[in-house]
Amino acid sequence: MIALVVYAHPVPDSFCSVVRDRVVGSLIAAGHEVDLMDLYAEGFDPRLPVEEHALHLSGLETKPAIAGHARRLSAAEALVLVYPTWWGSQPAILKGWFDRIWVEGVAYTLPEGEDRIKPLLRNVRRLVVVTTHGSPKWVNALQGEPGKRVVLRGLRSLCHPRARSRWIALYGIDRSDEEQRNRFLDRVASITARL
Amino acid sequence: MRALVIHAHPSPESFNRAVFNTAVAALRSAGHDVEALDLYEEGFDARMSREEHLAYHSEHPIVSPDIARHVELVSTAEMLVFVYPTWWFGLPAVLKGWLERVLVPGVGFVLDAETRKVRPHLLGVQRIVGISTYGATWRYTKFFNDAGRRILVRALRLGCTGRARVTWLAMYRLDTSTSEQRTAFLVRVERKLSAL
């Protein structure tokens, strides 16, 4: 499978980067083709610009700035998001990737005269999230896990109708020890190996 | 009250901008001391930088002068008002990034060094007002969790203010709304905010 790994962390040697390397390594070892999209390294600007907002119902040909990312997303058969959870959800740079790339002509289309959108990412059959939380699980539960449904219900609804999704989270990373982190890395590797 | 109104929409001609202008005017006419922040107009960068992330848990987590100004505004505010469009059932990236970069430890909350527990630090904030326009219906928005509202009403309120009261004003189905419905929403915003 072609796996698009979208990664969002500003610090090159963070724990999140170790997670990313395990994900990529285990996908390659399992024979998948990996496209790594490192949003910080690419200098991706997550702010939806005024001209893209004005063209939100127009096709992809009107938005040359996102053509590269759109092509890579459209080619993906598996989508893996690797990021730290901040404020209960995706970091701004990744939230803005949804805002700018998951748009008309890429992720869905609204056919002329109809009022229901049609999914366009039907080739995406696997959706995996690997995320680390600073706070313990009960805090995230109290906040209502704001970042979870946007992926598992929102993004997933535009993928293949029977796309399988996995959510792999490490809570309380600020208080975790090396053994817990290693266990998490092993879990990440074994799940992504059986994609 | 000292009110900080934060706006996040790229288009000066948008309905969301009209809502923002209405909110600011209503608060001013009610006698509040209003400070307005238009994140797109300021060119606010949504991305927490490497330096900021490395400094996050240090004594000096604020490394850029534009953030220092926002920190001062938020630290003296008694009311926080957010006016934004809901995109992908959440906050626009520029507003999400504002929370991440401005409300760092020592500003929004303090992290106990020993227990690693979070204690609110915006104790002067008595009210949080959220005003959002949604393309989707109410039902759809609930099904997908309304992450933007949860982040502001739960993560921000519980983590930073402790016990601020909440006023939420939502306009659903904006894309198919009539001009009467939009006008009615502006009137609602005007009325609600001038009564605060």
Give tens-digit pLDDT for B48-67. Answer: 999 999 999 899 999 999 89
Give the pLDDT band of residue A169 (cuts 50, 70, 90). Answer: very high
Give the Cα separation of B158 and B40 in Å (integer).
27
Q: Phi/psi of residue B181, each to 5°?
A: -65, -40
Give SS3 for B110.
Answer: strand
Q: Give yes or no for a contact between A37 and A82, defined as CB atoms under 8 angstroms apart.
A: no
Number of other CB atoms surrounding residue A19 within 10 Å: 25
Residue B139 above 80 pLDDT? yes
Touching A: B residues 12-71, CB under 8 Å: 14, 40, 46-50, 52-54
ipTM of the predicted assembly exceeds 0.85: yes
Give the Cα separation of B128 and B156 in Å (integer).
9
Global pTM reads 0.96
Q: Is B145 on the interface with A (CB under 8 A)?
A: yes
Q: Which of B53, B89, B144 sits opposite A10 (nearest CB)?
A: B53
What average pLDDT does this structure show over A154-171?
Answer: 96
Q: Return the pLDDT at A175.
A: 83
Domains of chain A: 2-193 (3.40.50.360)
Provide the phi-psi class of B173: left if phi over 0, else alpha when psi is between -120 and 50, else beta.
left
A85-132 pLDDT, tens per residue? Answer: 999 999 999 999 999 999 999 999 988 888 788 999 999 999 999 999
Instruction: Tell me which residue has tokens 């496209």.
Output: A35
State the residue range of the domain holding B99: 2-194
Q: Give yes or no for a contact between A76 and A2, defined as CB atoms under 8 angstroms apart.
A: yes
- For residue A53, the chain B residues in CB contact (below 8 A) are 10-11, 14
CATH number, residue B159: 3.40.50.360
Q: Give yes or no for a contact between A19 and A185, defined as CB atoms under 8 angstroms apart.
A: yes
What average pLDDT does this structure show over B31-54?
Answer: 97
Residue A180 above 80 pLDDT? yes
Q: Is B142 on the interface with A (CB under 8 A)?
A: no
**Alpha carbon separation from B153 to A94, A189, B47, B100, B139 (Å, rounded):** 21, 36, 22, 16, 19
What average pLDDT does this structure show over B33-46?
Answer: 98
Adjacent-strand bridge partners of A118: A109
Angle between helix axes B93-102 and A92-101 (nearest 10 degrees) is: 180
DSSP state of A145: -
Give percent of chain B above pLDDT 70. 100
Give the Cα separation of A195 and A192 in Å (integer).
5
Q: Return the pLDDT at A155.
A: 96
Count of domains observed in chain B: 1
Q: Give yes or no for a contact between B39 and B20, defined as CB atoms under 8 angstroms apart.
A: no
What average pLDDT does this structure show over B88-95?
Answer: 97
DSSP state of B34: E
Extract the tokens encoding A189. Answer: 């590797």
Average pLDDT, chain B: 95
Q: Return the pLDDT at A144.
A: 85
**Alpha carbon separation from A76 to A69, A90, A121, B84 (Å, rounded):** 11, 20, 8, 32
Most A CBs within 10 A among B110, B145, B154, B177, hence the mutation to make, goes to B145
Q: Distance (Å) from the C-alpha of residue A29 to the closest C-alpha of chain B?
A: 30
What average pLDDT does this structure show over B64-76?
Answer: 95
- For residue A9, the chain B residues in CB contact (below 8 A) are 53
| Mean pLDDT lowest among A73-82, B55-64, B107-116 | B107-116
Number of other CB atoms surrounding residue B139 within 10 Å: 9
